[in-house]
Amino acid sequence: MRTRLAISIAITAAFLTGFFLIAAHPALGQSDAAEPSATGATDIPRLANGKPDFNGIWDHPRVADVTKDGKGCGSYTPGCEQKGSGELHFTPSGLAIWKDEEHRFDYSGHCLPWGYTRAWQVEYPIEIMQTPERLAILFESNNIFHVIHTDGTPHPKDLDPNWMGHSIGWYEGDTLVIDSVGFNGKTWIDTVEHPSSDALHVVEHIRFIDRQHLAYDVTWDDPKTYTEPIHNSRVLVRMKPGQELMEYWCMENNRDLPHLTR
């Protein structure tokens, strides 16, 4: 892995443009952080169909521990913040996994996929590419992407569990709701290794605070691991015009991990 500040060559996320066309929007400048509005922003960019246009590159908080509050963007853009969930309530099996530090497998250290949930918690920015039919999140971390279907497509009846899950989305007013299921239970929720299972159900709400800031709220519901849903809220900030996602690769599969981490 590498630190953003140590890399001088940036790349764009143009590899998805062959999949679908992106609704163009003008470059926007920076503004100070704003508090989320209960009614939502009105002066916001919109797609041709009138829905909010989230296209852009967004900085977001690093959430190492979903239980704790924090301030600051992962890539140092001013204005990010996050509100933690507070204490988590484990099931007996979930608590046993959480306490078993000796046998908990560091899958990320072996360059396995981080999964959709944990990819949101790291410090690296994202790019959103959106059309009326679908929205794609490009994660700088590990150069991965995830597609959310917003055309009314339901979750498949026979999902093959995987690292990123399957996501569908719809709009409630100017708020995008993303519903994700179908996870393989091999990932953590965050960097401190709060576990998850194949029963994980993730619901996200994204809306504009103003043209430069997004309110992002996420709920994790995993009845195999936790007796209550977990909630976390954040403010994301649009990055400056000209800033792009950078290239990110895990180190040669970390084949010599014991030596590297000794």
Say what the pLDDT of residue 40 is. 56
Which tokens hold the place of 253? 């599969």
Say what the pLDDT of residue 172 is. 98
Q: Where are the domains of the chain?
A: 54-261
Q: How far apart are CA 75 and CA 246, in angstroms?
A: 11
Question: Using CA of residue 22, residue 203, residue 195, residue 155, what is the dihedral sign?
Answer: negative
Say what the pLDDT of residue 101 is. 83
Say what the pLDDT of residue 256 is. 53
Give the pLDDT confidence of 207-232 residue by residue, as tens digits.
999 999 999 999 999 999 999 999 99
Cα Rg of the chain, angstroms: 18
Give pLDDT tens digits along the chain (262 positions).
444 544 333 333 333 444 333 343 333 333 333 344 444 577 999 999 999 999 999 999 999 999 999 999 999 999 999 999 999 999 999 999 999 988 777 787 778 888 999 999 999 999 999 999 999 999 999 889 999 999 999 999 999 999 999 999 999 999 999 999 999 999 999 989 999 999 999 999 999 999 999 999 999 999 999 999 999 999 999 999 999 999 887 765 555 555 555 4
The SS3 call for residue 52 is: strand
Q: Is 16 left (phi over 0), alpha (psi -120 to 50) or beta?
A: alpha
Q: How far apart are CA 229 and CA 121, in angstroms?
A: 17
The SS3 call for residue 220 is: strand
Q: How far apart are CA 12 and CA 246, in angstroms?
A: 7
The distance from CA 39 to its chain's CA centroid, rounded to whole angstroms, is 24
Fold of domain 54-261: Lipocalin (2.40.128)
The SS3 call for residue 164 is: coil
Say what the pLDDT of residue 111 is. 81
Give the pLDDT confidence of 228-239 residue by residue, as tens digits.
999 999 999 999
Q: What is the pTM (predicted TM-score) of this model? A: 0.81
Say what the pLDDT of residue 249 is. 79
Question: Using CA of residue 64, residue 69, residue 70, residue 73, what is the dihedral sign?
Answer: positive
